[in-house]
Structures are given as C-alpha cells and as structure tokens.
Amino acid sequence: VGYYAVTAKHCVHADETYFLVFDEDSDRPYIKADLLFTTDDTDLAVLGFITTDKLPVIPLGDETLESIGSPVVNVSSPLGLGKLYFDGHIAAMKLRDRVQADGVPDPVVLQLPAAGGESRSAICSPAQEAIIGIVVMIYIPDNGGSIATTAVPVSQLKHALVEYAQASKEKE
C-alpha cells in the first residue's frame, strides 16, 4: 500500500533519509520514507512510503467550504513535547477563484490566531473531518502579541500532487 506524508519544505533536505513514526510502542515504530517532491511557491514537501500496515488516513478537504470564524483543530508535537491538541478558528483567508495564465491557482493562505501547532502539521476542519491546510509558519511576536499560524490550503497541495503525477507519467 502506498501512502503520502505532507510536510513543510523548510523541514526537509534532499540528501537526508526520512523515518516516520506512527506508533512508538509497536514492534516497528519507524517506516522509511522517500522525498518525492517539493514546491518552491508554497513551501510544501511530499514524502512517499510503502507499508503493509493499515494506517489511518485523514482525507483532504476543501478550504473554500470554510469561512472566517470557522473552527479548526491541529494535533502536533511542537519541540518534541508529545502529541498536543490545539483548537482555534480561521482569522483570515486569501482565497481566489481566478487562476494565473498558466492555469495555476493564485497563491492562497489561511491564518489562524493562537492555533499553535508546528510547521508541517495539518489544520483540520471538524465540520469536514478533513485536512484543509498544512502549517508552514508560526509567528510569535517579541512583544507578547498574538500568535499567528499560517497554513497553505489543501487546494495548493492537490494541485502539486496532480503536477507530480503528470510528470511521473511522462517519465515512464
């Protein structure tokens, strides 16, 4: 069975080997993954791996079904502190229906106040029970102001996956 794992590009390096942890208490807690591709414009990276284990999968949702004020959740492990749950809401959205001349959707951003998490973690919509964004930046101001989490909406990830599949098919 083949799987994808999505992370932030700034969290990976092309010359490294990746091992994903799904269950630290299992006989095989680590699964080797390969870096498949990265995107320059959205700071996304996609790892691929194969396992015979049946892993839980969170589907990709549609951020355009959400609006400012929509509740979101994030489960991550910032600074290696273990699994932490954060909840918040969408504070700003930069979503555009139009596409650029080359057919690529305009860059989009979801911003969440005090949603916590860490780069590479998923922002999920409880209403859709799906991922709607991948965290690429957490802004913590020096003056003690509000923390802001910035995520790339999944529409950008879906677009990158389609391009990767087309490029892979052309190589065959």
Phi, psi of 37 (to 5 degrees): -165, 165
pLDDT tier at 57, thresholds 50, 70, 90: confident
pTM of the predicted structure, to 2 decimals: 0.78
Find, among 126, 45, 121, 58, the residue nearest to 90 by Cα. 126
Beta strands in the chain (DSSP E): 2-8, 18-21, 30-38, 44-50, 71-76, 84-89, 92-94, 109-113, 122-125, 130-139, 148-153
pLDDT for res 24: 65
71-95 residue pLDDT tens: 988 877 666 666 777 888 887 777 5
pLDDT for res 98: 47
Amino acid at 125: S
Contacts of 51 (CB under 8 A, 6+ apart): 1, 3, 31
